[in-house]
Amino acid sequence: MKTPYLIDTTLRDGEQMPGCVFSREEKIAIASGLAEIGVGEIEAGIPVMGPTEQADIAAIIALDLPCRITGWCRAAFADLDAAEAAGLTSVHLSFPMSNQHFRALGKSSEWVFETLEKVLPAALERFAYVSVGAQDSARAERELLIAFARRVHELGADRLRVADTVGVLNPFQTQALFKELTAALPELELAFHAHDDLGMATANTLAAFEGGAAAADVTVAGIGERAGNAALEQVAMAVPNLGVRNRALYPLCATVLRAAGLRPPKSAPIIGENVFSHESGIHVSAVLNHRAAYEPFSAADVGRSDSTRVVLGVHSGEAALRHALNEAGINPCGEPLGWLLNRVRDHALKTKKPITPRQLRNLFYD
């Protein structure tokens, strides 16, 4: 089995997040950052959107990055023309696969197969690499999906991408789906595209790899339409054999979030402010003795400049209090600190905020 790889779609699906717009300069910076960390493929945009999008994609291609650059296309000749105009040599062709999408788009399974017979051979003649997507595979009739996959393989496509377009799968279903597809078509390379509507995009992506997927779509910080996509940084940290340089993850996330006008939630995995923050007395006491007790990786492992942070609040204990006093330049020696701990907890209860070093000094000397 080939080493699995990531397809980053921050510049396509990520930018489809409502209100998100990347300038050409930002797209170039993001694409360069993705290549630097070792992403195998970048989905750079939708060529048929027009000349500006095509010029943006051409600018990324001109960087000559050490990864595949792909354009997302509908199953239409106009999209192939636009992809060629952008200078692409790799395209992804998307087909609807569920009854919900047939109804929404006014298509049918008959249309899918008729169009596949026309557009896929033409794409294979015009481009060096052609990926085919089964949109909303998760809700598709399984027999239809397998028949479509078989025909995609017979016509010579390089890859089939299975999409959980509205994020309804769980990891058990995802793994079973990929095992079934792999058993039916062992020679066809499979990829997975996950959405996070139920909060399982990262877990489903790992399950897809376990089921036989060779590649998976991600976006930086999980940005994307609705609840977003599988987060690159989460998948990279959870799957160590992807060849990603994890120490560049946090700077890349910062670049993308800044361009998108976003800040991560404080509790966001990998990139959240609270990932290396501790308040609970039991936790702080343990972490001060051995950081790995409550931190599975260090800030430096993902390129963060911060480190373990002790927060004083309602749940703090004496070990945290002594640590904070030392950090504030106060040496209480061996005197009991129960009185100060009560003051700290009372202050936190009233303000519902952590205690700052200045407030701690005031409480100590008052």
Which of 210, 235, 260 lies at the terminal end of a domain, its last residue?
260
Which pLDDT does position 289 carry in this prediction? 92
- Residue 140 · residue 134 · CB < 8 Å: yes
Distance CA(348)–CA(326), nearest Å, equals: 20
pLDDT per position as a tens digit, 319-329: 998 888 988 88
Stretch 236-262: mean pLDDT: 96
Residues 241, 355 within the same domain: no
More confident residue, 365 or 214: 214
Residues 66, 171 within the same domain: yes
Residue 109 lies in a domain: yes
Q: How confident is the model at residue 3 (pLDDT cuts 50, 70, 90)?
A: confident
Question: Which residue in 192, 197, 193, 195 sits closest to 209, CA to CA?
Answer: 192
DSSP secondary structure letters along 48-73: GG-HHHHHHHHHHHTT--SSEEEEEE
Residues 146, 278 within the same domain: no
Structural domain including 338 reads 273-365
Residues 292, 182 within the same domain: no
Distance CA(57)–CA(339), nearest Å, equals: 63
- Residue 245 · residue 270 · CB < 8 Å: no
Which pLDDT does position 132 carry in this prediction? 98
pLDDT per position as a tens digit, 95-123: 999 999 999 999 999 999 999 999 999 99
Which pLDDT does position 143 carry in this prediction? 98
Residues 194, 333 within the same domain: no
Residue 199 lies in a domain: yes
Q: How confident is the model at residue 197 (pLDDT cuts 50, 70, 90)?
A: very high
Quick check: 1 pLDDT over 70?
no
Which pLDDT does position 331 carry in this prediction? 84
Distance CA(123)–CA(71), nearest Å, equals: 12
CATH number at residue 24: 3.20.20.70
Half-sphere exposure of 146 (CA within 13 A, CB side): 13
Residue 73 lies in a domain: yes
For the chain, give the percent of residues with pLDDT over 90.
Answer: 86
Which pLDDT does position 332 carry in this prediction? 81
Residue 102 lies in a domain: yes
Residues 225, 290 within the same domain: no
Q: How confident is the model at residue 365 (pLDDT cuts 50, 70, 90)?
A: confident
Residues 254, 124 within the same domain: yes
Residues 136, 33 within the same domain: yes
- Paired tokens of 336: 């009991």
- Residue 108 · residue 96 · CB < 8 Å: no
Quick check: 357 pLDDT over 90?
no
Residues 17, 114 within the same domain: yes
Which of 260, 283, 298 lies at the terminal end of a domain, its last residue?
260
Residue 122 lies in a domain: yes
Q: How confident is the model at residue 336 (pLDDT cuts 50, 70, 90)?
A: confident
Let me know the angle formed at the C-alpha of 119 by 61 and 226, rounded to the nearest 5 degrees: 65
Residues 235, 346 within the same domain: no
Number of domains comprising the chain: 2
Residue 330 lies in a domain: yes
Which of 260, 284, 309 lies at the terminal end of a domain, its last residue?
260
Quick check: 350 pLDDT over 60?
yes
Residues 210, 308 within the same domain: no
- Paired tokens of 22: 């990347």
Residues 308, 351 within the same domain: yes
Strands of 88-245 (E only): list them.
90-96, 129-135, 159-164, 190-194, 215-218
Residue 45 lies in a domain: yes
Residue 107 lies in a domain: yes
